[in-house]
Structure 1
Amino acid sequence: MINYYYNYNQKGELTVRSYIDCVYCYLKQAVSCMKMAGIEDEKKMHEVIYELMDYVKTFDTEVTPAENSSRVLLKAYELIGIDDPYKEIKKKSNDLALELYNGLKQKIENSDDRLYDALKIAVAGNVIDLGINRSFDIHEALAHSMDTGFSIDHYELFRKKLEEVQEVLLLGDNSGEIVFDKLLVEELTRLGKQVTYVVKGAPILNDATMEDALYVGMDKVARVITNGSKYLGVCLERVSEEFINTLYNANLIISKGQANFESLEQDENVRGKAFFLLKIKCECVADVAGAKLGDVVFFTK
């Protein structure tokens, strides 16, 4: 059911903007961040949250939740004096995913539709989102993705578009998840495609950076670049000009995760070229995508 406070564009399409429900998530992420940083002093945590509450009052609700979340998180980093509180857990996520790599690669090699299963494995990795949940069950996510599949599925359209291009731009999301993306990249390169993989320019939550890409060997199978930003998703005012040129000149884009969806779902420069691959983790995003909370989807707009 769509809430009355949602926004619509000029075409009458529901759009992602920062709604009242988002405020709770901003602050929940900040609490998660402090706990991840090992802060146990509740008085200190209350002081940080109260200062963030005043900060949130200044936010523009017309921008994406990804942008406002980034502002809260980076302010929290500043207040606690730690610039990468997720550094240790990111490495653990990468190591966990790397332990699964060989088995998943064998599953793809035995598949009747290798690319399709590579996409389903890649989206299963999207469960590794420590901004929303501090714990996750990757085995359960893999089983759900492989057995249930996409609730919105534009795979056949993607295959047709893939046949028309030589290069694919893949916008990455989280650490750990990057290993699952690597399997997808390897399948795309097996099909003769050149892949450019995009990571963040600096740490934010558990999003993948160049350090993660090198650690899991993504640079061995794809050209890896950063978007020049430490904001979640694609904040056009914060990313580099080089990245914007790469994004808008791309003929086919795979956009991983919810923050990238929030950023690009109404961008006319990528409409019809960007295929969104994600797990729906928010009811507001579910309504915009036309899916249900918990669904995994692969679609274009």
Structure 2
Amino acid sequence: MQSFVECVYCYLKQAVTCMSIAGTDEDRQHRILFELMDEIKALDRSRTPAENSTEVLLKLYKLLGNEDPYREVKRKSNLLALEWYPLLKDMLKRSEDRLYDALRISVAGNVIDLGINKSFDLGASLKHSLGAGFARDDYALFAEKLAGEDEVILVGDNAGEIVFDRLLAEELAARGKKVTCIVKGGPILNDATMEDAVQAGMDKVARVVTTGSNFLGVPLERVSGEVRKMLAGAGLVISKGQANFESLEHERGTAGRVFFLLKIKCECVARVAGANFGDVVFFTRQGGV
């Protein structure tokens, strides 16, 4: 997915949110934003929004002298999500289709996106995901593909959210599938790292590997050779969140193999995904591309 002109606003909004979380005073925020504007002017519009956002954020972290401004809020997000875990686990035990509901619970966790919003309502997100369902829904195709696969790769997104992904991983494991979860190799926004995966208990149910970088999404030229090979050879991949969608939706060979699971939080992503702002979706690209 290439960048749109609207992405420029998001680069700046992410920077302001990050500085607010880091406790940066307003005068310094202005000075830093003006400096970041020079960085933004030089960005390559043909690259994904996730890649360009990363470049801006890494520059911001350098200016702040802080390589992980979100560390404490990520920890708190994990703790909050873990409070929901027993209730959601019990809900799945009573479900008529546990895997489908595990997917819907997993995407409800996608609301925990502090790169866009500093607050979130997990209860409202769960109600929406479980009530409205997927606006684009390829679950039947996914279930058909899953029957013939021994392993599933889950490309993780945010801290906190990874607790909800753990419930999905547990349902896949209960069906005899080996699950590999991919997290970031270093801190960027509130994306889940190995530290978050361990805090969330993901390592108890899945093999956890890192991208080998701290770039948002999984841009194939920025991840480790191991992860690049893993994604290229996998029979079934669940890609969580917008940045991973931005990184993978245009790659060849994803149709019928990579399933995108996310809440649409951006009009640009909505256009590319063929959905509406605010929708939750679970789909794969159609055709042979």
TM-score range normalised by the length of the shorter chain? over 0.9
- Which structure 1 residue ranges, 4+ long, deviate > 4 Å from structure 2? none
The residue aligned with 1:12 is none
Q: Does 2:137 match 1:153?
A: yes
TM-score (norm 2): 0.98
Contact 2:149 2:235 in 1 (8 A): yes
Find out whether 1:109 has 2:112 as its counterpart.
no
**Of 47, 62, 84, the match for 2:68:** 84
The CA distance in 1 between the partners of 2:176 and 2:89, in whole Å, is 18
Matching residue's letter, 2:19? M
Alpha-carbon distance in 1 for matches of 2:96, 2:24:
49
State the superposition RMSD in angstroms: 0.7
**1:269 to partner: Cα distance:** 3.2
One-letter identity of the residue aligned with 1:281: K
Distance 1:236 1:116 in 2: 29
- Name the amino acid aligned to 1:26: Y
The equivalent of 2:220 in structure 1 is 236
Equivalent position amino acid for 1:94 in 2: N
CA-CA distance at 1:19 after TM superposition: 1.1
Q: Scaled by the length of structure 1, what TM-score is found?
A: 0.94
Q: Distance in 2 between matches of 1:271 and 1:205?
A: 29
Uncovered stretches (5+) of structure 2, i.e. residues with no partner: none
Task: Tell me, in whole angstroms, the C-alpha distance in 1 between the residues paired with 2:67 and 2:253.
Answer: 33
Match of 2:261 among 254, 263, 277: 277
Query: Paired residue for 2:191?
Result: 207
Residues of 2 paired with 1:17 and 1:226: CA distance? 25
In structure 1, C-alpha distance between the alignment counterparts of 2:156 and 2:94, rounded to whole Å: 26
Residue 133 of structure 1 pairs with residue 117 of structure 2: yes
Q: Structure 1 CA distance, aligned partners of 2:99 and 2:204?
A: 19
Q: CA deviation at 1:270?
A: 2.6
Aligned length in residues: 285
Partner of 1:290: 274
Which residue of structure 1 lines up, in the alignment, with residue 210 of structure 2?
226
Which one-letter code corresponds to 1:143 in the other structure? K
AA aligned opposite 1:294: G
Tell me the distance in 2 between the aligned counterparts of 1:152 and 1:295. 8
In the alignment, structure 1 segments of 5+ residues that lack a partner are 1-15
1:49 aligned to 2:33?
yes
| Distance in 2 separating the partners of 1:199 and 1:38 | 26
Return the letter of the residue paired with 1:221. Answer: V
Aligned twin of 1:184? 168
- Residue 20 of structure 1 aligns to a residue in which SS? coil
Q: Match for 2:20 among 26, 31, 35?
A: 35
